[in-house]
Amino acid sequence: MTLPHPRRRRALALPAGMAMATALALLPGVQAAATAAPAAPPADAAALSYVVNVTPGHAPSATVKRAIAQAGGTIVTSYDRIGVIVVHASDPGFAAAVRTVRGVQSAGATRTAPLPSAATTDEGAPQVLSAKEVAAAQAADGQDPLEKLQWDLPAIKADKAHEKSLGSSKVTVGVIDTGVDDTHPDIAPNFDRAASVNCVSGKPDTADGAWRPSASESPHGTHVAGEIAAAKNGIGMTGVAPGVKVSGIKVGNPDGFFYTEAVVCGFVWAAEHGVDVTNNSYYTDPWYFNCADDPDQKALVEAVKRASQYAEKKGAVNVAAAGNENYDLAADEITDPSSPNDSTPGDRVVDPSKCYDIPTQLPGVVTVAATGAKGIKSSFSNHGLGVIDIAAPGGDSTAYQKPDAPAESGLILGTLPGGKWGYMAGTSMASPHVAGVAALIKSTHPYAPPALVKALLYAEADRTACTKPYDIDGDGKVDAVCEGSKNRNGFYGWGTADALDAVSW
């Protein structure tokens, strides 16, 4: 089976507007889910959403509120502790107008398409295990029935770790994603209702079940949640940390876009609801890279940075996927053909030292590259010396990295909405493996602050030398260049995540 070539950031065979770190393997006979109809448009269909950044720690001043209103803006919500205000406005000059106001540090549009974003067409579906395959699976040697299909668990010694510890129920991993189906039999035992929310509008919605994806929305977040914490309960599969809690923090809208106001809401929610680890398998739309010399994009970077750092200050370790374009994120320049992805994208050359994928390249965030069944960098995984912190299984095409066991697909098994299981691949799948290991570290060291959890994560990683030459397709041409030593390099960072050490040190 050949994976589709990655057409855009972390979206291998996903909707054109869906910024998620995953390659979805196609299963013959399984149709792509229909895209949900967009919500009813606001009174002014040309309205955009904005973030206005002011001094943290205080409510917006009367001057700022008056300026927002005079510029035609309506405040949706305000995150006073980090100084981020979410505003809707229809005047295209809104951001430029409020940037001149005393007390406003930056402001920018979070999208280029009017509220709501334009609908997209889903082009892929996960490779779903059939009911017959699930029924035929039998547990062996204390394993869950589908665990024998999970080559990724022994790849990071999670199977051995589970003999010592499954993780603590006092630890919660927040899945900031497309939503989580908490009714799934492998997720329900470990679901943290109090730490779950829908943040799609930029304002928390705590209605019961608001964090779940609809039948027509992506299964991405549910798959990620199962990779992290599918219960070891004699049903289905086993997560990396099957004894910890998992919460659904929904930030992807029905069209698959992860906009800044939703991401900010997600991190703030995690910060204020006891989340110990966040998993972020997406990039913040509509820009693959947000450049500091663009006033709109600068404001988006600042808003998400404040929110992620607030979460870390409150005790959360933030883990993020590196992306699926085989980009060298430490290169002098990268051509980005996909931005803005919610209107009309076009080629632009960016300097990745000044233009950032958020939250992946924000300070303090653990950036995760993907490996395949042979333990080397996945063909699609982004890389870069000093950017990649750690590596973990994300899967790859069997044409590139064929598993040793015939029953294994080379992709990553996860939970799917509706009580199903299926395969996906991408750095989206690598990141939750690291989030799970971080949760095991937190379980072992319950009072460890994020800095110590990250230090242990890197110290315990299995040092993995550069793959040289990296000719993943065997055509005689180098497909990526790895720089650095065995102790730290651009393909694997500090090494491959180690779950056994996480519960042993």
Q: Where are the domains of the chain?
A: 11-37+120-459+474-502, 48-109
Contact 51, 107 (CB under 8 A): yes
Q: H or E segment at 365?
A: none
- Backbone dihedral region of 380: left (phi > 0), alpha (psi from -120 to 50 degrees) or beta? alpha
Residues 46 and 184: their CA atoms lie apart, in Å, by 39
Same fold, 11-37+120-459+474-502 and 48-109: no
Alpha helices in 138-240 (DSSP H): 152-155, 158-161, 220-229
Contact 432, 240 (CB under 8 A): yes
Give CATH for domain 48-109: 3.30.70.260
The closest of 21, 108, 112 to 345, measured between CA atoms, is 112
The per-residue pLDDT for 118 is 52
Architecture of the 11-37+120-459+474-502 domain: 3-Layer(aba) Sandwich (3.40)
How many helices (H) and strands (E) would you count in the chain?
A: 11, 20
Segment 298-325, tens digit of pLDDT: 999 999 999 999 999 999 999 999 999 9
The per-residue pLDDT for 117 is 61
In the DSSP assignment, the letter for residue 43 is S
CA distance readout (Å), 473 to 2, 127, 465, 478? 11, 23, 20, 9
In the DSSP assignment, the letter for residue 454 is H
In the DSSP assignment, the letter for residue 3 is P
Beta-bridge partner residues of 356: 290
Residues 300 and 259: their CA atoms lie apart, in Å, by 9
Q: How many CA atoms lie within 13 A of 21 on its CB side?
A: 39
Residues of the chain with pLDDT under 50: 1-45, 119-124
Contact 292, 354 (CB under 8 A): yes
For residue 320, with 0-12 CB atoms within 10 Å meaning exposed, 13-18 middle and 19 or more buried, which class applies? buried
The per-residue pLDDT for 29 is 29
The per-residue pLDDT for 296 is 97
For residue 40, the SS3 value is coil
For residue 210, with 0-12 CB atoms within 10 Å meaning exposed, 13-18 middle and 19 or more buried, which class applies? middle
Residues 466 and 377: their CA atoms lie apart, in Å, by 9
Contacts for 98-101: CB closer than 8 Å, 24+ residues apart: 98/52, 98/64, 98/67, 98/68, 98/71, 98/73, 99/295, 101/63, 101/64, 101/67
The per-residue pLDDT for 269 is 98
Structure-block tokens of residue 115: 């509220």
Query: pTM of the prediction?
Result: 0.91
